Amino acid sequence: EGGGSMAASGEGAPEGLCGPERQGAGGLALLGLAPSAPSCPHGPALLFVKTSQGKEEGRRFYACSACRDRKDCNFFQWEDEKVSETRLAAREEYNRNHQPSFTHRQNVERYKNFVLLPLSKRRFCQQCQRLLLPAEWEKHSDHQFLCDISTAQLKSPSQLLYPLENKKTNAQYLFAGRSCQFLLDLIIDLGFRRVLSVGTPRLHEMIQSKASQEDFRVRSLLLDIDFRYSQFYTEDEFCHYNMFNHYFFGGEAARETCRKFLYQGSGERVIMVTDPPFGGLVEALASSFKKLMAMWKETEKEGHNLEMPVFWIFPYFFESRILEFFPSFSMMDYQVDYDNHALYKHGKTGRRQSPVRIFTNLTPSMIVLPVEEGYRFCAVCQRYVSSGNQHCEICNSCTSKDGRRWKHCVLCKKCVKPSWFHCNNCNCCALQNHTCEKTDAVCFVCGKAGHKRSTCPSLSHT
């Protein structure tokens, strides 16, 4: 749901940034967050290595953590590059100039003044995505704006704001009401009273809208890179945060807000729910989530061996990558769908079933999925599965990942998609009209035979 632009460009800077889970033609690998990393408007840059065919190790460079496309943020610097004082000063000025025009505190004050206005004087500039006070109307006179902004609209900012739909940067696809309500009901049924909403603005606003109800006990803190939300939430309800480098734009004060929220006073259990951009680097996200989990652990007085409970919402085809970083996680069959995504919708309205799932470190049998939406409980696996996900006696597991019934391949010794067939040339299952792997094919990264670039041992893993 959430999602996430620098002047110093370098010679030969790669166009897109990809981690080991998605190698580009340049053979790029993420090395992580270096202690002395330079910064762009999105906080400290990440360190990558560029590898070329036949070479073991390439040249290292820094690039923006939040934007994989250099059109969105063209920050680039070789690790061994000597940056002049003039260029450093210019960079700092650029970073300052690319920060929001109002601070969070100023936005909170503006909101207080805005709600005091009569309905006829409440305007929202669609071009600037900003609540307008009457004194500012003239500056925005040639812009399009919405009038008569109601209290209900102010409580649903995700519907008032334009979704930022750049897949590589923000990918701000918002939970459909069905999925959002299911998540909230599940959180309440599991006994959680605090939700750290990392890049899930719609879940956060659903919780906020119910906060005034007497019997409603759940609280939420939204961490999101979209600063527009600071217009609607106080500093205790929203922190401007980059989930790719664990960067709090509000500094130590914002970090302390998060730390305080994670402190479980009087048995108020906390769960983190996160819905990152699907084009984001899994290991960068995993690194940040581990830091948030460590922050929770610091506040814990009991149960030091426990992990902070997490719902990570991500496509099923990233399962192996997520489990690589979080072996305690497992994938639920529940299909999460989105309002403004043509493909990721429930049932027959989208072009196909949503591939988005919930990854969690909670015991799978605790996650009760709605029977009326086509889920059933498998007594052998001790978890709820999609009705089409049949238990395989050979694998001793409900093996389907996409909701369809998968079939077991004796030669591959595993279940595969129903549209796949065993290819004797490739010695594995694949689509019937696939192009067979050539026996003399070599890895693009290191130039050796016997593996593809996605599994190249020379690629550095964090």
Could you report the per-residue pLDDT of 380-438, keeping only the tens digit for each? Answer: 889 999 888 888 888 888 888 887 888 899 888 898 888 899 998 888 999 888 888 65
Determine the average pLDDT of the residues in 57-73: 85
How many other CB atoms sit within 10 Å of the CB of residue 88? 12
At residue 136, the pLDDT reads: 93
**Is the predicted pLDDT of residue 129 greater than 80, yes or no?**
yes
**Is the predicted pLDDT of residue 312 greater than 90, yes or no?**
yes
Give the burial class of 255: count Cβ atoms within 10 A of its Cβ; 0-12 exposed, 13-18 middle, 19 or more buried: middle
41-55, 128-142, 328-342, 431-445: which has the minimum mean pLDDT? 431-445
Closest CA to 294 of 325, 259, 265: 259
Distance CA 193, CA 119 (A): 34
Distance CA 265, CA 256 (A): 15
At residue 446, the pLDDT reads: 60
At residue 437, the pLDDT reads: 66
Determine the average pLDDT of the residues in 75-95: 94
42-56, 300-314, 429-443: which has the minimum mean pLDDT? 429-443
Q: Confidence class of residue 169 from pLDDT cuts 50, 70 and 90?
A: very low
**Is the predicted pLDDT of residue 296 greater than 70, yes or no?**
yes
Q: Which residue has the higher pLDDT, 34 or 273?
A: 273
At residue 330, the pLDDT reads: 95
Give the burial class of 245: count Cβ atoms within 10 A of its Cβ; 0-12 exposed, 13-18 middle, 19 or more buried: buried
**Is the predicted pLDDT of residue 314 greater than 90, yes or no?**
yes
At residue 301, the pLDDT reads: 62
Determine the average pLDDT of the residues in 217-235: 95
At residue 155, the pLDDT reads: 93
Q: What is the mean pLDDT of the chain?
A: 83
**Is the predicted pLDDT of residue 133 greater than 80, yes or no?**
yes
Determine the average pLDDT of the residues in 339-364: 69
Determine the average pLDDT of the residues in 225-231: 95
At residue 306, the pLDDT reads: 84
Determine the average pLDDT of the residues in 447-453: 58
**Is the predicted pLDDT of residue 339 greater than 70, yes or no?**
yes
At residue 6, the pLDDT reads: 25
At residue 443, the pLDDT reads: 61
**Is the predicted pLDDT of residue 165 greater than 60, yes or no?**
no
Predicted TM-score (pTM) of this structure: 0.84
**Is the predicted pLDDT of residue 24 greater than 80, yes or no?**
no
Determine contact, residues 74/201, Cβ cutoff 8 Å: no
User: What are the phi and psi torsion angles at 432 (to 5°)?
Assistant: -60, -40
At residue 54, the pLDDT reads: 57
At residue 192, the pLDDT reads: 94
Q: Which residue has the higher pLDDT, 216 or 353?
A: 216
Determine the average pLDDT of the residues in 350-378: 87
**Is the predicted pLDDT of residue 239 greater than 80, yes or no?**
yes
**Is the predicted pLDDT of residue 249 greater than 60, yes or no?**
yes
Q: Which residue has the higher pLDDT, 462 or 105?
A: 105
At residue 302, the pLDDT reads: 60
Give the burial class of 33: count Cβ atoms within 10 A of its Cβ; 0-12 exposed, 13-18 middle, 19 or more buried: buried
Q: Confidence class of residue 5 from pLDDT cuts 50, 70 and 90?
A: very low
59-63, 278-282, 286-290, 350-354: which has the minimum mean pLDDT? 350-354
Instruction: Give percent of the chain with pLDDT exceeding 70.
Output: 81
Q: Confidence class of residue 369 from pLDDT cuts 50, 70 and 90?
A: very high
**Is the predicted pLDDT of residue 344 greater than 60, yes or no?**
no
